[in-house]
Amino acid sequence: MNSTGELVEVVLPGRVEPEELRIRRGAVPVPGPGQVVVRTEATGVSFAEQQMRRGRYYDQPPFPFVPGYDLVGTVLAAGEGADPGLTGTRVAALVKVGGWASHVLVDAADVVPVPDGVGAAEAETLVVNGVTAWQMLHRKARVRAGHTVVVHGANGGVGSVLVQLALAAGARVIGTASARHHDALREQGVVPVDYRSGDLAARIRALAPGGVDAVFDHVGGRGITDSWSLIAPGGTLVSYGSASTRDAEGSKQWPVLKLLLRVWLWNALPNRRRACFYNVWAGKALAGNRFRSRLRADLTEVFAALQRGEVTARIAARLPLARVAEALRLAESGTVAGKVVLVP
C-alpha cells in the first residue's frame, strides 16, 4: 500500500509495446467540489486497455494519458459538496481512463459502495465485467428461467460472469471456448462448444434446433451474421465489441460503425428478432443521473450475487503497478482465466 502520500501513476505515451509504459510520480490530488480522492487498492487490465495501447479504442483520449478502466479503493478525502460520510469507505468506480494510479479523483456521484467482507481485488474483477454482464443479460436481453442463451468466449472476463449470472437466472447456457476450458465449463453446468472447430453455427444449431433466446457476441467481424442466424423469434442478439479487429490497421471507428449499421438494418426487418449494440457508457452524456443510478443499482446487484456465491471473483494474477508491462502481456496472452489485477 502506498502510504507515503505520493501519487504513482502509469502513463501510456503512445502506440507502444507494454514495456514502454511509463511510471510517473507526483503530488496526491486534492478533491474539487463534488469530488472524492480514492486511494486505489485494486485496478485491472481489461480489453479496453489492450485496444488503447494499439490506438484502437473507439473513443480513447489523445496520448499521453493514464489508462485504467475501473478501480476499487478507499475514499481518502471528500471535496466541498460531496458526502463527508464517504471518507474511509471502500468504493468501486467505473472511470474509463485514469484508474492505473495510486490515487484517483472521482466524482462522488460515480462511486458505488463495496459491501463489507468483499475484498478489493475480488470486487475489482466485477466492476466493468459485472456491470456489462448484468446489463446485457437483464436490461438488454431480459433473460429468464427456461431461456437458452449462447455466450461467446465463455471463459473470458465478461463471458465468465455472463455465464454465471445466466445460470443463476435459470437459463440453459451454451458457451463457446477453446477445448482446454470445456471441463471447467461443464462443471459449472454449461454446454461447451469449441469455437476453433469448423462450422460453429451448425454445431450450436444442433444443440438448439429452434434457435436461441439470446446470443452475447464480443467478437464482431464476419461471425456476427452467424450469431444473428441463431436467434429464435422473440430473441435478442447483443453485440458488445469487435475483438476480431483488435490487431487490425486502419480506422478504429469503422468496425464499430459497421456493427451499428448491421444492427440497425436487422432491426428494420420484420422478423420478430432484435439486435442491439451494447456500450456500458451509453446514456451518460444525455441522462447522467439516470445512468449513474442504473450503474449503482446493477453493480450493487452483482456484488450481492458475489456474496450469495452465484458469481465468483476470478483473479488470474495480482501484480504491483510497477509491473504493469508484465500484467498487460499476461492479460493479452489469452492463457489466463479471470482478471489480471494491479495492486498499487
Domain ranges of the chain: 6-114+314-342, 128-277
171 to 111, 165, 191, 273: CA distances (angstroms): 31, 9, 12, 19
Q: Which CATH architecture has domain 6-114+314-342?
A: Alpha-Beta Complex (3.90)
* pTM summary value: 0.94
What is the predicted pLDDT for the residue at 4? 52
CATH code that applies to domain 128-277: 3.40.50.720
pLDDT at 221: 85
Q: Which amino acid is at 33?
A: P
Cβ count within 10 A of residue 61:
14
pLDDT value for 47: 87
pLDDT tens digits for the chain (344 residues)?
444 589 999 999 999 999 999 999 999 999 999 999 999 999 999 989 999 999 988 889 999 999 999 999 999 999 999 999 999 999 999 999 999 999 999 999 999 999 999 999 999 999 999 999 999 999 999 999 999 999 999 988 899 999 999 999 999 999 999 999 999 999 999 999 999 988 999 999 999 999 999 999 999 888 999 999 999 999 999 999 877 766 777 887 888 888 889 999 999 988 899 999 999 999 998 889 999 999 999 999 999 999 999 999 999 999 999 999 999 999 998 778 789 999 99
Fold equal for 6-114+314-342 and 128-277: no
Alpha helices, H only, the chain: 47-53, 120-124, 128-134, 157-168, 182-188, 200-207, 224-229, 254-268, 288-308, 324-332
> How far is residue 202 from each of residues 152, 172, 211, 251, measured CA to CA in Å?
15, 18, 11, 32
Residue 216: all three cell numbers together: 452475447
Cα–Cα distance, 256 to 206 (Å, whole number):
30
For residues 6 and 39, the answer to whether their CB atoms sit within 8 Å is: no
Euclidean distance between CA atoms 137 and 302, whole angstroms: 12
